[in-house]
Structure 1
Amino acid sequence: MTENDHKEISMRASEIMTSPAVATTPATSLREAVAVLTEKGFAGLPVVDHEGRVLGTFTEFDALRGIRAGGDGITVGALMSTPVEVISPSTDVTEIGRRMLADRLRCLPVVEEGVLVGVVSRRDLLRPLVRPDDSIAAQVHGLISDYAGYRPKWTVEVDGGYVHIAGEFRDEAERRVLDALARTVPGVVAVVLVTRNPAAT
């Protein structure tokens, strides 16, 4: 087992949670809560009292129930899901994943001494699995695929911010275009274009 493997296994909620958490209250209107969900791209919001204690969660499903019921005059308190599962900052990531899968949870509030300190979503849980190089490669591949009309002409590999684009190039002008496109992606250190002979593959 490598040192990095050990780090991933021992990762805790405090290392991946979104903090400070965006929360709502029981008195918040359905319309206002839905606006927060959609604008922030959240799957759910913790519902807290004036002291920051978690009372429930307000999810996309709860929002849809409210909209189906008419929406006007309905508050978060009438729709929120209770009881609510919470975790502590020291909860192991493996346990968080198990609970999310078992109970089909979209997010888990993180509570310390009874007060909300953060939220762990499925996205937070998955984020540590993606290296910065993976994100760069995906963005570069998307840009050059757009340029090529989504024809799979090139492969992209990234190592330490160094982008390697391999494939066939029509001419030097196309090479310059691909180089320029790749360099627009944040985190790119250098771009290397490798001409690949199709007969050799």
Structure 2
Amino acid sequence: MSKKPTTDLPHRCTWCGDDPLYVAYHDNDWGVSVHDDRKLFEMLTLEGAQAGLSWITILRKRENYKLAFDNFDIDKVAAYDDSKLESLMGNAGIVRNRLKISSTIDNARAVQKIRQEHGSLDTFLWSFVDGETRHNRWKTLAEIPAQTELSVQLSKALKGYGCRFVGPTICYALMQSIGMVNDHTTDCFRHRKLITLTGTDSL
């Protein structure tokens, strides 16, 4: 007797669709707490690069970005000169936007200042949520805000150190991606999983 095909598949946030790369990002990365400065700088860079583009476009270029920017070594990127900038402008594997590329270099230098003052980028960013993930309880994508009062504060603070491409909307996307907030919808299997992983259930 043949078995019935299973339909008991995990329910996901609808934004990731069925693209395997997007689904993998949703299931393994989005909303997971990140505390490594290099990874935090990577996400700061990628979220800025996304401005005006789709996230899947950036995901498809993610490995190219790692190669182009020395695996997001903050000190190495901060030391890039004009010749390196021109070289990056010729790299078809990344978004060849001069403002975005130069902002990545400027942001690395800004992060150096942040680390000098706060000890780490991790300490600085997570201080905005008192070091704990804030678990929201959105039922639909339509409820999720594009920015919040907290992301406005973070944007202002980052700009104060000289960061660019860090508007409130980009900052909120960063907060979502690095797990400062859990914005998986409540019907998504990852929402409860992240609460379990963090051991917190704060709003």
TM-score bracket for this pair, using the shorter chain length: under 0.3
* TM-score w.r.t. length of structure 2: 0.25
Comparing both chains, which one has the higher relative contact order based on Cα–Cα distances under 8 Å and sequence gaps of 6 or more?
2
Please say which structure displays the higher CA radius of gyration. Answer: 1
Bigger strand fraction: 1
Q: Scaled by the length of structure 1, what TM-score is found?
A: 0.25
